[in-house]
Structure 1
Amino acid sequence: MKLWLKPFFNISLAFLTVASGACTTSNDGYESPVDLSSKPEAVKRKFKTLTLKNQLDVMLISDPDVKQSAAALNVAVGFGEDPDGQAGMAHFLEHMLFLGTKKFPDEGEYSRYIASHQGYNNAYTTFENTNYFFTINHRGFDGALDRFSQFFIAPLFTPKFVEREKNAVNNEFEKNKQNDSWRVYELAKLDIRKDHPASKFGTGNNETLKSITRDDLMAWHKKYYSANNMTLALISSASLDEMEGMARKYFSLVENHKTPEVKYSDKVLDESRKLSIYHVKPVKDHKQLAISFNLPPQSQNYKNKAHDLMASLIGSEHPGGLAQKLKANGWVTDLFGGAYDQSHQFELSVTLHLTDKGARDYQKVLDEVFAYLNFIKDQGIPKGLFYEKKALAETYYVYPRFEEGGNYVAQMAAAMQKFGSDDLLKKMYLYEEFSPAAFEALFPFLKPKYAQIFFSQQDFKPDSKEPIYGTEFKVENLSKDRVAKLESMKSSKFTYPSANPYIPENLELISDTMAKPEQVLNKNGVNIWFQGDTAIGLPRGHIRGRLIYDQPSQSARSYVTNQIYSKIISQNFASWSEQLQLAGINLGVYPSYAGINFELDGFSDKLPRAMADFLEKLKGLEIPSQTFKDQKDAYVKDLRNAAFESAYQQAIKKLRSEMNRYTPYVPDHLNEAEKITLADVKAYHQKFVQKIAVQAVAYGNLRKDDVVTSFAKLGSSSSANTQFLDKAYINPARAKKKPVSMNTKDNNDAWTAVRFVGQRDPKNEAFSRILTTLISDKYFNDLRTHQQLGYVVAAFPYQDPINVGVQFLIQSSNYPSKELSKRTETWLKGERNRLAKISDKEYTQIQQGLLARLTKPFKTSEEFAGQIFSETFIMDRVGYRQQLIDAVAALDAKTFKAMVKEAMAPKATEVSVFVNKPKSRS
C-alpha cells in the first residue's frame, strides 16, 4: 500500500512515447499499415463493459492464455478530499481496508488467502484516485473477489488497528523523508494556491493522523466509497459470462450513495506568485534542473494526443534536438520529457541531470530549454511524427503486447475514470485525428508564467525550510527582463527528427518454427541458440545475450571500469536506442561481472538488423573526452550517494555482493572509480571488442539464417576465458560467512538475511517456493501489522545459479537492525512448530496453486528466450523448468515437514547484513 507521488520527474503519460519524423505516408491520404477491425488468430482476448444496477462501471477481459486472474477497483477520490486538519485521511483509509471486514473479520484473511493462491495484492492513493488491485491463481479468483468486494461493502475499521495502522502510515512517511523526489514534490506545493486541494500533504504522519477516529473513517468511507464513484476491471481465463456473474454477485452489494463527482479548478498556481527558481538542497549529491509547465486538462484531446506529441519532442534524443545539444555542450548527462494528466490540470515537464559545468551554467541551460520550446512553436507540429506514431500505435492495437496481472487492470480501472468505458483502448492508445490546432493550443502555456523551476544542488546557502520534509531551499526571483529574454529565446541549431529505418513493414508470420531450441552457431567464441516461434503466433521476437569478458571479475577496479564503460555505451547509443523504441523495438544494455548483457525485444521484422547494428556500433564505439568525463562524474556521484539510499536497498545490494565473489559492493570502491582515466576506458574498449565471447538466445517470429547473419560481424575469433563464470557464486556452507554490519546515512535501520536450503536443484527449489508461499504473508502480517516493526517487511524465495533459500527483509525507523534479526528468529521458532503440524489439505492447496502457476504456458518471446538462456548458459541444465514442475508435484507433505526442521533450525546456514542508521538521527 502506498501513496503515489505525482510523477514530477521523467514519467511519460501515453502508451507510446514516439519522437520521429518518418511516416508511411505523411499526408492526409495516409493508409493504415493494419486493418483495425481485424483480429489475428493468436489474439484471443475479449472485452466487455457493463454498468451494474448500483451504477458501478465494469470492464471484463477474458483471455484463455493469461497465467493468473486479476482485479482492480478504482475509487475516484484521493487526498484532494482529505478534511482540514486530517492530512492523510484517504491514504490511511486505504491501509485500513486491508485489516478486516464484517464478512471476513480476521485482519490477515484477505492477504493470506491471496498468498495461498500464489497471488499478490497492493493499493495506491493519488490526489484524485485510490486504486486497489490483486493477482491470483484462477482457482482462487472467485473467493478473492468475495473478500475483495467486502472492502467496499462492510469494512470493520477495528479500533485497535485504527491506532496501530497510524504507525504504519508514519513509517511510510519516514521512509520517504530521505527521498529527493518526494521532497521536491512537497516543496512544489508552496507555489500552489493555498485554497486549492492540490496543496495538501497527502501521505499523512503521526501528527496529522492523530485526531482521526474510527467514526471519521466510517463517515469518509460512506461519503466517497460509493458505487457510482467506482470503476472495476477484471481479467481471467474465465469466460465473459462467468466473470459477469462474479461481478454482479459480489459488487452489486456496494452501496450507491450518489456521491457527486469531485471536480477541481484548473487554476492551480498562485497567480500572485513571483516567477522564480527554487534552489533546493538535496539529500543526495546531485545536480538537477526540473521545469514543469501547468496546462489545462488534456483528456479531451485523446483523438489527437497533441500533449503526447509535445512531450515526445521535448524529451527526444534525436540529433538536432534539445538533449543532444545540451550533451554536446557538456551541460547534461540525461534529459527526460514527461507528461502528467489529471482532471483539473495537465503538466509537461523536462528534467535535466546536470554536469558540474551545467550546474555552473544553469541559466544558459534554461535559455536553451526555452529556445527549443520557441523552435517548436515556430515549426508547428511535425506531420510525419503524428503519422509515424499513428502507424505504430495501430500496429500495437492489432498485435498487442501480452499484458496481464494486477498492475494491468489497475491501469484500466483508472483509465475508465478518465475516459469512460466505451472504446477505452482506442481512447488510450490510438492517434485518430491530426490536429495542428490542438498542438498549437499548448503554445501559450509553454511560458515562464506557467512554469515551476527547481534547481537541486548542494553548493548554495539556503535561507528557508519546507515544513513537512524539512527540505532546505532558497528562492531566486526572476526579473522582468530575464522573463522577457526566456520568452524570446531563439536558436537556429535545432531540427526535427529524420526518417526511421526500423519501422516494421512485414508483419507476416514465418514458418521457420522449431519444436525445441537448437544451437545454430558455435564458432570462434560465438555460441547462439535459436527457436522459431511455435506458441505465440504474433510478429514478435526477442534476442538476449551477454558479451563475456573476464576482466570485470579480476579486481574491483576492473569491475568499476566496466560499469563506467557500460554507461558510456548507453549514452552513445541513446539516440539510436530511442529510434529503435519508436519503431517498437526495445534495447537494454546492462553491465555485469561477466561483461555486458543485452536484450532486444519487439516487432520481429527489423530485429535481426537491429542486432547486427548493435554489434557494429559497439565495435566502432568512439569515446569523446566530454562523454567520458560526464559519465564518470555521474557514476562517482552515484557511489557517493549510495549511503543515502533507502537502508533496505543498501542491505540487498550488500548481500548480493556477499554471495557473488565477482560483484563487489561498489560504494566501497569509490577511490578506484575516481582514478579511472579516459585512456583506461579506451584501452578497455579495444580489448573488450577483440576478446569477447558471445552467448545469446533468439526466440520468435524470426528466420534462423537471419539470426545467424546478425552475429556475423563480430569477427573471426575470441580469446575470452569463460571458465571463471562457474566460480562466481559462493557455497555459503563452505564459505562460513560472518554477519556483515554497515552504516547508512538514511534515517532507517534495515536487516536482510538468506536462510539457505541447499544447492539449487529441483527438489530444493520446489521446497523453498512452497515454504515462502506458506510463510511470506504471515511474516508480513505478524511483524508489520501486529509488531509494527516497519513499513518494509518481506519474505521471498532466494536463488542464484547454485543456491536456493528464503530471504527475509525488514526496514524500520523505530528498531535497530539487531532487533529486527532477533524478532525474526523468534518468529521462525513459532513457524517451525506451526508448519510441523500443517494439514495435508492446506499443504495440497499451496502445492496445487504453485503448480498451476508454473505450468501455465509462456505467452511472450521474452519469457521463452529468458528460460532458454537460463537453462542453457546460466544453469547448464536444459529442461530445468519441467524438472522443477515435476519436483513440486512430487514433494509430499511429510517430506516437506522434514525439510522444514532443517531449513528453519536456529543454526541453519545464513548470510546476513545489518544496516545501521546514524545514532544522532531519529
Structure 2
Amino acid sequence: MLTTLNFAQSHFFTLPNGLKIMHCPIEDASTSYVSMAVKAGHFYDPKSCEGLAHLLEHGLFLGSEQLPQPNSINDLIERHGGAINAWTGTEYANYHFHCHNVALPALLPAFADMLQTPLLNVEALSKEIQSIEAEFQFKRKDDLRRLYQIHKETCNPEHPFSKFSVGNASIFEQMPLSDLQAALKQHHEQYYCASNMALCIFSALPFEPLRELIAHTFGSVPAGKPAPDNWPPLYLDQHKGIQISIVPLQSARRMIVTFPLPALHNDFKVKPLDYISHLLGDEGEGSLLAYLKGRNWVTNLIAGSGIEGDDYKDFNVSFQLTGDGLNHRLEILEALFDYVRLIGESLDEPWRYQEKAKLHSLAYQHEENPKLMPLACDYAQHMFVFTFDEIKMLRSEPDSFDRATLEQALSLFNPDNIRVKTIAQGLPTDRQCKHYDACYGIDPLPDTVKAALYKPQRHSALYLPPPNPYLGTDYQLVAQEADYALPQKIKHQDGLACWFAQDHQFNSPKGDIYFSFDAEAFTQNLEAVAAKRIWLACLNDALQAKYYRAEIAGLHYRLYGHQAGFSLHTRGFTNQQMKLAAQLLSALHTEQPSREQFELRKAMQLQSLQNSLLNKPTNRLFSRMSVLIQRSTQAPIDLIKAVEKCSYEHMLMVSQQALDKYYLESFVHGNWTAAEATAFADDVAHANPNASGSPLSRQVSRLPAGTTLYHKVPSEHEDCAVVLYLQAPSSSLMDTVMCLVLEQILSAPFFNTLRTQKQLGYVVGTGYVPHNQHPGMSFYIQSPNHSPDHILSEITGFLFEQMQEVDFYRAYWETIQHNLLKQLEERDLSLSMKSQRLWISLGTADYEFNRNKQLAECVRGLSFNEIKTYANQIAERTLFGELVLFAAGKFDELDCSKGQRVDDIATFKNLTPCF
C-alpha cells in the first residue's frame, strides 16, 4: 500500500560535485530500490553514430575496474536477492536495481564503479554490437517500432528526437572498433558526470548512515558540465495540420489524433491534461466513445498517451476503427472537436474537476502495491525538472480549480495544431521509413476539413458525465472477526459453493469478489469455445458504458474465459462492490447481444486471432506449449476456423445451454463482515437457480519420460526459435521445489553463456513454467543467425552438461536457498494479490491455504546432495518428460530423428495421457 512510502518525509541533498540525491523512507520493507538517472539519452548521440548512447548503456554492463568480467554486476546483485537493469530514453539513460536492505552498503559502491569506471573492452564491445543487432532485427517486424520511426521522420529533422535511437551493426561497424571505443569513452566522460546525474533511493535503511555512504561512494564523481537542452521546436508549422497514412504488418485499423503541446504534464498543481483526458477518455453513456460505438465507427478509444519530454508533450486520442469507421474519419474528428467544445463549456461547472480531484486522492490514498522500481526511476528523473520541495507534492491531489490554466490548455486543442495518423491495410503511400521499411504517406489536412473542425456539428447524443453514483462517502474499516482470517465455506449446495475470508492484514477499505462458472456446454468442441469467446466479447461491450462510472470510482470488474467456462472478478472499494457484482451477475443472464454486436465482435475476434499468428516466434512457441499441455486450451489457428463458422444463432444456443446448467464457485475476500458475505451468498444462490452442475477437471498432458517429443509451429518471422520444456514427473512438493531450485541455479549461467558469450540471440532465457500447478522448466532462444539444430544443440549441450556438473554450484546454494525462501515466505504485497492467491488455492483444492509455506519448509530442509542426485537423474533424461517446440524461420527444419515429431495438435493430445 502507498502508506509504506513516505514522500512527505523524503530527504534531499546535493553533493558538492552537483549530484542530486533523494531518499524516500519505506516503512517495514526488506528491499531497497535504487535508480540513477543520467542526462545522456539518445538526444546526445552524435549524428555520425546514432545509437551510441544505447551502446554505451550496454557497455556499462561489460565490466568495470572492480568487477572486470561481463555481467559480474548482474551476478553480484542477484546473489543478494535483487536484479539490475537499464534503459536509454530520449533525454535520459537510467540504471536501476533492487536488493535486500542489508546488501545495499556493499552493492552501492559496485553500482558506482559500474557507472564510473567501465572498461569498454573491445572484444566485449564486438559481441555486444551483435546483441544490439539481434535486438534491432527482433524489432524490425514490430508495428509499434515501425510507427515510432515514422514519427521520427515526420517531425523537425533538426530536433534530436528525429535520430535513430537503437543503433545497429551497420552503423557501429562503419568505424574501426578502436575508434568506436574511443567515441564511447569520450561520450562517457562528457555526460556521465555529477552535473548530469540524479540518484533516488527508496529504502527502510536510516537516512544518516545512508547519506554518509552515498557521499563516500559518489563524492568523487567529476562535476563536469550540464548537458545542453536548448533544442529547436519538435514540430515546425509544416509538421502540424497533416495526415499520415501508414500500412501496418498486422491487421489493424487505427486513427491517432495528436495534439503537440508544451510540457503541460509537468503542471502538478492543476494537472490540466489529467482533467482533459479524464473527460475525453470517458467510456460511459453520452461519452465520445459511446457515441462512436453507437455509430459502429470505433471499438475503443484511449486519450492522453503520447511521447513526452522535459519541454514537450504529445497528447494522443487513439481510436480503434471498424471497417465502416475507416470511411467516416472526418465525422469522427468532428465528434472529437464537438466534445472538446463541451469540455470547454464544462468549466462553468467546477464540480467535475473537484470530483476528479477526489477520485485522484482516493486512488493514491488507498493505492495497492505501487511498482516501486519504476517509481524510483521516475523520481530520479523528476530531480532534473522540479525543485526538491515540488517533488514532495507530485502525488498530492490537484491544488485547486484554475479556469485560466484549463482554458489555456484547451485552446491548444485546435484543428491547426493536430497530426492525424491513420493505420490500416491498403492506404495510399509514397515512401518507406528508414531501418524498418514501413510504407507511409504524408498529406496536408485540406482547409475544408480544418474549417469543418473549427465549427463542428453539434451532436445531441454527446454529453458530459453526471455525478458519479458509485463514488462513496464512507470508506470505513469493519470490525475483525477471528473465525474468518482464512477462507470459510459459508454456503454449499449441489452446483454451488460460496467462500468468505476477511482482510486482517492490509487494513484497507477494499476487497475482491470472484465467480467461476464451469459450463460443460462451453467445452464440448472448438465451435463451442468460439461461441463463448464471441459471447463474452459481446457482453463486455454491452457492459462497458453502463458500468464505466463504477470503474473510475475505484470499482473494477473483469469478465473473461477460462478452460472450463468463464469467470467474473470484481475488485476495489467494498463500498457498493456487492451491488455492482449483483448487477453484473444479473446482466450475465439477461443481456442478449444483438446481431450487429455479434458481427462486430466476431470480426474483432478473427482479427485478434489472425494477428496472434504474427507474434514473435518465442511468444508463439510458449502459446502453443500451453495449448499442448493444457488439454482444454485451443490454438488460435484452430479457433480461427471455428470463429469463421460461428453463426449468431449458434452463439445464442451455446450460451443458453451453458447458462442452463453450470457449477458456480464464489469467493468474497476483504473489508466485509461475515453477515454481509452470508447475505450476499444467499442472494447469489437465489439469482443462480441453474447452478446444478459439477466442477470440470483441468487436465494436463503427461509427457513420456525417456522420449523427446518435437512439435513445429509455423511462423512468418525469419528468426528461428526453440523452446525446450522439461515436465516434472509429478506435482509433489519435492518435484515442484526441485524445478524451482534448478531453474534458479541455471538461469544466470544459461543467459551469460548462450547470450553474452556465444551471442546466439537477443531473446535468451529460462523459466519455471507450471501448467495447472504441475511444475516444469523451460529453456528458450530466438536467433536471427543460427539454425534450430544449432540452437537446440547448444541448449541441450549446456543444460545436461550443467546438470551433470551441478556440484559446481554448491558454493552458491546458500544464497539461492535464501532467495527462494524469501520469495516463498514473502508476505502478500497487496490485498488483491492475497485474494488471487487464496482464490487459486480454492481452485486447486488446497484448503490449508499454505502451499507456499510447505514449499518453503521443503526448500529449508533440502541438502545440496539431494539436488545433485536429482539433477543427475534429469541429466540421464529418464526422469522428466521432454518437449521441443521450434519455429524454423528462414533456416532448415530441425532434425527430429532422435525422438518423435507430432505437429498436429489433436494427434499430440490423443497420443499423450493425462495427469
Question: What TM-score, normalized by structure 2, do the two folds share?
Answer: 0.91
Secondary structure, aligned partner of 1:872: helix
User: In the TM superposition, what is the alpha-carbon distance from 1:856 to its structure 2 partner?
Assistant: 2.3
User: In the TM superposition, what is the alpha-carbon distance from 1:685 to its structure 2 partner?
Assistant: 3.2
Q: Larger deviation: 662-671 or 552-561?
A: 552-561
Equivalent in the alignment of 1:505:
473
Equivalent in the alignment of 1:391:
358
Q: Is residue 689 of structure 1 aligned with residue 652 of structure 2?
A: no
Structure 1 residues 727-806: aligned runs within 5 Å: 728-733=699-704, 738-806=709-777
Q: Is residue 623 of structure 1 aligned with residue 593 of structure 2?
A: yes
Q: Larger deviation: 129-138 or 72-81?
A: 129-138
| Partners of 2:265 and 2:297 in 1: CA distance | 35
| Partners of 2:870 and 2:717 in 1: CA distance | 38
| Partners of 2:185 and 2:421 in 1: CA distance | 40
| Partners of 2:249 and 2:5 in 1: CA distance | 50
When residues 42 and 638 of structure 1 are mapped into structure 2, their CA distance, relative to the original with a 3 A threshold, is closer
Question: Does structure 2 retain, via aligned residues, the 8 Å contact 1:291–1:453?
Answer: yes
Q: Is residue 238 of structure 1 aligned with residue 205 of structure 2?
A: yes
Equivalent in the alignment of 1:912:
884
Q: Is residue 123 of structure 1 aligned with residue 89 of structure 2?
A: no
User: In the TM superposition, what is the alpha-carbon distance from 1:238 to its structure 2 partner?
Assistant: 3.0
Tell me: higher relative CO, structure 1 or 2? Use CA pairs within 8 A at least 6 residues apart: 1
Q: Deviations over 1:195-219 (max 9, x none)?
A: 1111111111112222361111111
The one-letter amino acid of 1:647's match is: P
Question: Does structure 2 retain, via aligned residues, the 8 Å contact 1:749–1:811?
Answer: yes
| Partners of 1:511 and 1:168 in 2: CA distance | 57
Equivalent in the alignment of 2:912:
none
| Partners of 1:920 and 1:282 in 2: CA distance | 28
When residues 432 and 511 of structure 1 are mapped into structure 2, their CA distance, relative to the original with a 3 A threshold, is same
Equivalent in the alignment of 1:135:
98
Equivalent in the alignment of 1:292:
258
Structure 1 residues 371-520: aligned runs within 5 Å: 371-380=338-347, 383-493=350-460, 494-513=462-481, 514-520=484-490
Equivalent in the alignment of 1:181:
144
The one-letter amino acid of 2:580's match is: A
Equivalent in the alignment of 2:45:
82
User: In the TM superposition, what is the alpha-carbon distance from 1:639 to its structure 2 partner?
Assistant: 1.7
The one-letter amino acid of 1:837's match is: F
When residues 716 and 152 of structure 1 are mapped into structure 2, their CA distance, relative to the original with a 3 A threshold, is closer
Question: Does structure 1 retain, via aligned residues, the 8 Å contact 2:247–2:438?
Answer: yes
Equivalent in the alignment of 1:892:
863
Q: What is the number of residues matched between the two proteins?
A: 881
Structure 1 residues 628-647: aligned runs within 5 Å: 628-647=598-617
Q: Deviations over 1:245-294 (max 9, x none)?
A: 443343334332132453434x2213234733222110001111111110
Secondary structure, aligned partner of 1:799: coil
Question: Does structure 2 retain, via aligned residues, the 8 Å contact 1:389–1:431?
Answer: no
Equivalent in the alignment of 1:533:
503
Secondary structure, aligned partner of 1:729: coil
User: In the TM superposition, what is the alpha-carbon distance from 1:378 to its structure 2 partner?
Assistant: 4.2
When residues 483 and 442 of structure 1 are mapped into structure 2, their CA distance, relative to the original with a 3 A threshold, is same
Q: Larger deviation: 228-237 or 741-750?
A: 228-237
User: In the TM superposition, what is the alpha-carbon distance from 1:92 to its structure 2 partner?
Assistant: 1.4
Structure 1 residues 61-76: aligned runs within 5 Å: 61-66=24-29, 68-76=31-39
| Partners of 2:380 and 2:109 in 1: CA distance | 18
When residues 171 and 56 of structure 1 are mapped into structure 2, their CA distance, relative to the original with a 3 A threshold, is same
| Partners of 1:876 and 1:314 in 2: CA distance | 45
| Partners of 1:255 and 1:763 in 2: CA distance | 53
| Partners of 1:241 and 1:692 in 2: CA distance | 61
| Partners of 2:109 and 2:531 in 1: CA distance | 55
When residues 42 and 350 of structure 1 are mapped into structure 2, their CA distance, relative to the original with a 3 A threshold, is closer
2:132 to 150, 158, 169: 169
Q: Deviations over 1:504-557 (max 9, x none)?
A: 322222113333221222235332222211111222222334222223332122
| Partners of 2:416 and 2:4 in 1: CA distance | 53
Equivalent in the alignment of 2:908:
none
Question: Does structure 2 retain, via aligned residues, the 8 Å contact 1:751–1:818?
Answer: no
When residues 256 and 118 of structure 1 are mapped into structure 2, their CA distance, relative to the original with a 3 A threshold, is same
The one-letter amino acid of 1:872's match is: L
Question: Does structure 2 retain, via aligned residues, the 8 Å contact 1:118–1:853?
Answer: no
Equivalent in the alignment of 1:50:
13
Question: Does structure 2 retain, via aligned residues, the 8 Å contact 1:67–1:853?
Answer: no
Question: Does structure 2 retain, via aligned residues, the 8 Å contact 1:112–1:778?
Answer: no
2:243 to 271, 277, 282: 277
When residues 624 and 815 of structure 1 are mapped into structure 2, their CA distance, relative to the original with a 3 A threshold, is same
| Partners of 1:245 and 1:688 in 2: CA distance | 66
User: In the TM superposition, what is the alpha-carbon distance from 1:87 to its structure 2 partner?
Assistant: 1.0
Question: Does structure 2 retain, via aligned residues, the 8 Å contact 1:608–1:707?
Answer: no
Question: Does structure 2 retain, via aligned residues, the 8 Å contact 1:751–1:913?
Answer: yes
The one-letter amino acid of 2:62's match is: L
| Partners of 2:7 and 2:331 in 1: CA distance | 54
Equivalent in the alignment of 2:898:
none
User: In the TM superposition, what is the alpha-carbon distance from 1:699 to its structure 2 partner?
Assistant: 2.3
Question: Does structure 2 retain, via aligned residues, the 8 Å contact 1:69–1:235?
Answer: yes
When residues 357 and 132 of structure 1 are mapped into structure 2, their CA distance, relative to the original with a 3 A threshold, is same
Question: Does structure 2 retain, via aligned residues, the 8 Å contact 1:766–1:888?
Answer: yes
Question: Does structure 1 retain, via aligned residues, the 8 Å contact 2:61–2:114?
Answer: yes
The one-letter amino acid of 1:131's match is: N
The one-letter amino acid of 1:155's match is: P
Question: Does structure 2 retain, via aligned residues, the 8 Å contact 1:698–1:707?
Answer: yes
Question: Does structure 2 retain, via aligned residues, the 8 Å contact 1:784–1:791?
Answer: yes
| Partners of 2:539 and 2:8 in 1: CA distance | 39
Q: Larger deviation: 535-544 or 57-66?
A: 57-66
| Partners of 1:304 and 1:461 in 2: CA distance | 42
Structure 1 residues 540-579: aligned runs within 5 Å: 540-579=510-549
**Could you say what the CA RMSD is over the residues aligned between the two structures, in angstroms?**
2.6
When residues 285 and 40 of structure 1 are mapped into structure 2, their CA distance, relative to the original with a 3 A threshold, is closer
Structure 1 residues 876-891: aligned runs within 5 Å: 876=846, 878=848, 879-891=850-862
User: In the TM superposition, what is the alpha-carbon distance from 1:570 to its structure 2 partner?
Assistant: 2.3
The one-letter amino acid of 2:79's match is: S
User: In the TM superposition, what is the alpha-carbon distance from 1:241 to its structure 2 partner?
Assistant: 3.9
User: In the TM superposition, what is the alpha-carbon distance from 1:470 to its structure 2 partner?
Assistant: 0.5
User: In the TM superposition, what is the alpha-carbon distance from 1:404 to its structure 2 partner?
Assistant: 4.8
Structure 1 residues 868-883: aligned runs within 5 Å: 868-876=838-846, 878=848, 879-883=850-854
| Partners of 1:237 and 1:40 in 2: CA distance | 13
User: In the TM superposition, what is the alpha-carbon distance from 1:226 to its structure 2 partner?
Assistant: 1.8
Q: Deviations over 1:702-726 (max 9, x none)?
A: 2223234445245253456444324
Q: Deviations over 1:754-803 (max 9, x none)?
A: 11233222222222222222111111111111111111111111112352
Equivalent in the alignment of 2:910:
none
Question: What TM-score, normalized by structure 1, do the two folds share?
Answer: 0.91
Question: Does structure 2 retain, via aligned residues, the 8 Å contact 1:536–1:859?
Answer: no
The one-letter amino acid of 2:450's match is: V
Equivalent in the alignment of 1:27:
none
Secondary structure, aligned partner of 2:713: strand
5+ residue gaps in structure 2?
Answer: 894-915
User: In the TM superposition, what is the alpha-carbon distance from 1:874 to its structure 2 partner?
Assistant: 2.4
Question: Does structure 2 retain, via aligned residues, the 8 Å contact 1:48–1:60?
Answer: yes
| Partners of 1:510 and 1:920 in 2: CA distance | 65
Equivalent in the alignment of 1:809:
780
| Partners of 2:293 and 2:251 in 1: CA distance | 20
| Partners of 2:7 and 2:46 in 1: CA distance | 46
When residues 208 and 391 of structure 1 are mapped into structure 2, their CA distance, relative to the original with a 3 A threshold, is same
The one-letter amino acid of 1:530's match is: F
